[in-house]
Homo-oligomer: A and B are copies of this chain.
Amino acid sequence: MIKIALAQFDFAVGSVHKNIELSRQLIAEATDNGADLVFFPELSITGYPPEDLLLRSGFLEAVDDAIKQLAVETTGIDVIIGHPGSYSGKRYNCLSWLSAGKIRTTYQKQRLPNYLVFDEHRYFQEGDKSEVIEINGHKLGLLICEDSWAPDVVTACVDAGAELLLVANASPYARGKFPHRVADMGDRCRENKCPMIYLNTTGGQDELVFDGRSLLIDASGELIASGPLCEDALLYCQLDQSGLQADWPIRELPELAEIYHVLVTGLRDYVYKNGFSEVVLGLSGGIDSALTLVLSADALGADNVHTLMMPSRHTSQLSLDLAIEQADMLGIDHQTISIEPSFTAFLDSLEPAFTGKPADITEENIQARCRGVIVMAMSNKFGWLPVSTGNKSELAVGYSTIYGDMAGGFAPIKDCAKTLVFELCEYRNSINPAIPQAVIDRPPSAELAPDQKDEDSLPPYSVLDAILEQYVELDHSVNDIVAQGFDPATVERVASMVLINEYKRRQAAPGVRITSRAFGRDRRYPITSGWRDKL
């Protein structure tokens, strides 16, 4: 029999000393609870992804020292821990077995993801052999993340004698990915008649959220337990003649609840890990800032959120009222600072230069940028992280003002399409009232010109989002999308808007990735590009 503790925890990127200290605490707790082995996630010493910190010799030396020190301290229990390691001048993504005061063996990841947000070929060489260790008479096969998606790598490990697969992961959340994980890992177990512990890390790291939900899967491929979503937990299980067992449940969650929880986690961790405790945002009376506000309140507590209504001549009374109504509902500090004086000052200053030129989008952008200046000033003066409120639909087509409403340190809903924003608001209100219904029901407007509505400039969001999902997330061509029955001129126009607005996205704040193709590390487009997708 072997009792294994799974450290489904958030290991912070770059925080080598804190991660070692956390590891020590978890090892002590697992020892007290009679575990034989503590299993840590992929690159737990450095956090994931450490990116170009891996190219710094000083960083790698600190990691090496930490691993050696931890090995010396490790007696009376065994440890499997993730770290980068250099051998013969080459860097590997490693999993080391610490036992009886020594590093007993080190496994090197064999398959390196280099797609979507992953760049592992930039940092690592591929390992070329399986590693099976023996503890208490049980043979445990070591694998790291991408390895477990490769049937040949898993089979080689079982052929080398593994009776239980230990897969250390740093697998970020994307909508719809969890069932894939369960199905694919189930296939690996079934194909090889071998049970698996799939351990995932937790926590927000820049645009990524690691969702935890570690898996126990039996030799027939059945899921027998899953860890909590996005929450830290030291989870115990045991392997004996009757197989892999645990007393934690299979957890299931409706998709909107899952997405909402991921958004809260990503925002909370970005704020705290970057040394902030409070945030500030512009509250317009519209739905994007309404969702951003309640996410912020849920992530940080209402006392730590500050909202600004920054009206202009185009702001409706309804907007003023709804902003106050929502702030009051949630108990949020709400201030009103008009942009009329600064907007007017800019118009006056620019008047000689603009003589003879009609008003156009310039004047709309100046309003948005006056708000940007005020939000940033409040941030600078009070040390509040400025949060921007843009959604994925508007970022896709450039329906936002760079240095205006795009200004901010973090953009929690930047990967949420507008239609999803509506669904998330309805979901959140189903728990308790947090967003006035009138905010959800009113037609979206930027209120930068008289009687402006988003749908004057854009296709209806239901159409826009359907096209964007195919064009941006699935890389479908204009031809393919039109073939599904969408209006050709609309599809061409949307594709063109996406292509020509890359320059704005390149200067956008990071935000929580919830799809498998967010605007960020996921989607690397040239700004300068002659490509236009046409019929």
**Bound complex: CA A206 to CA B344 (Å):** 36
Set of chain B residues within 8 Å of A57, measured between Cβ atoms: 475-477, 480
| Residue contact A51 to B526, C-beta cutoff 8 Å | yes
Q: Which of A40-69 contact B (CB under 8 A)?
A: 47, 49-53, 55-59, 61
A367-396 contact mask (Cβ, 8 Å, vs B): 1 or 0 = 001101110111011000000000000000
Residue from B49, B61, B508, B525 within 8 A of A507 (CB atoms) = B508
| Residue contact A529 to B53, C-beta cutoff 8 Å | yes
Count of residues in A whose CB is under 8 Å from the partner chain: 86
Set of chain B residues within 8 Å of A56, measured between Cβ atoms: 475, 477, 533
A178-210 contact mask (Cβ, 8 Å, vs B): 1 or 0 = 000000000000000000000000001110000
| Residue contact A503 to B373, C-beta cutoff 8 Å | no
Residue from B55, B509, B523 within 8 A of A52 (CB atoms) = B523
Q: Does A478 contact B (CB under 8 A)?
A: yes
Set of chain B residues within 8 Å of A204, measured between Cβ atoms: 528
Q: Does A286 contact B (CB under 8 A)?
A: no
A228-239 contact mask (Cβ, 8 Å, vs B): 1 or 0 = 000000000000
A478-B533 in contact given A205-B526, A374-B350, A381-B354 (Cβ < 8 Å): no
Set of chain B residues within 8 Å of A16, measured between Cβ atoms: 530-531
A51-B525 in contact given A58-B478, A478-B58, A531-B59 (Cβ < 8 Å): yes
Count copies of this chain in the complex: 2
A499-520 contact mask (Cβ, 8 Å, vs B): 1 or 0 = 0000100111110000000000
Q: How close is A173's CB to chain B, nearest CB, in angstroms?
A: 16
Set of chain B residues within 8 Å of A55, measured between Cβ atoms: 475
A366-B362 in contact given A114-B114, A342-B345, A528-B270 (Cβ < 8 Å): no
Q: Does A166 contact B (CB under 8 A)?
A: no
| Residue contact A58 to B270, C-beta cutoff 8 Å | no
**Bound complex: CA A374 to CA B524 (Å):** 30
Q: Does A464 contact B (CB under 8 A)?
A: no
Q: Does A341 contact B (CB under 8 A)?
A: yes
Q: How close is A398's CB to chain B, nearest CB, in angstroms?
A: 13
A344-B346 in contact given A18-B530, A55-B475 (Cβ < 8 Å): no
A385-413 contact mask (Cβ, 8 Å, vs B): 1 or 0 = 00000000000000000110001010000
A458-492 contact mask (Cβ, 8 Å, vs B): 1 or 0 = 00000000000000000111111000000000000
Set of chain B residues within 8 Å of A523, measured between Cβ atoms: 52
Set of chain B residues within 8 Å of A121, measured between Cβ atoms: 114, 121
Q: How close is A425's CB to chain B, nearest CB, in angstroms?
A: 27
Question: B-contacting residues of A (Cβ < 8 Å)?
Answer: 12-16, 18, 47, 49-53, 55-59, 61, 114-115, 119, 121-122, 204-206, 269-270, 273-274, 335, 337-339, 341-342, 344-346, 348-350, 353-354, 357, 360-362, 365-366, 369-370, 372-374, 376-378, 380-381, 402-403, 407, 409, 475-480, 503, 506-510, 523-531, 533
| Residue contact A526 to B376, C-beta cutoff 8 Å | no
A351 nearest CB neighbor, chain B only: B337
A481 nearest CB neighbor, chain B only: B58
Residue from B14, B342, B370 within 8 A of A526 (CB atoms) = B14
Q: What are 23 A-B pairs at a CB distance below 8 A?
A: A13-B529, A14-B531, A15-B530, A51-B525, A51-B526, A55-B475, A114-B114, A114-B122, A115-B122, A119-B119, A205-B526, A270-B528, A274-B503, A337-B353, A342-B342, A349-B374, A350-B377, A362-B377, A365-B377, A366-B377, A373-B403, A507-B509, A510-B527
Set of chain B residues within 8 Å of A380, measured between Cβ atoms: 360-362, 365
| Residue contact A58 to B477, C-beta cutoff 8 Å | yes
**Bound complex: CA A525 to CA B510 (Å):** 13
Set of chain B residues within 8 Å of A370, measured between Cβ atoms: 373
A344 nearest CB neighbor, chain B only: B345
**Bound complex: CA A348 to CA B339 (Å):** 11
Q: How close is A395's CB to chain B, nearest CB, in angstroms?
A: 13
| Residue contact A377 to B346, C-beta cutoff 8 Å | yes
| Residue contact B369 to A373, C-beta cutoff 8 Å | yes
**Bound complex: CA A50 to CA B499 (Å):** 13
**Bound complex: CA A366 to CA B14 (Å):** 33
| Residue contact B381 to A376, C-beta cutoff 8 Å | no
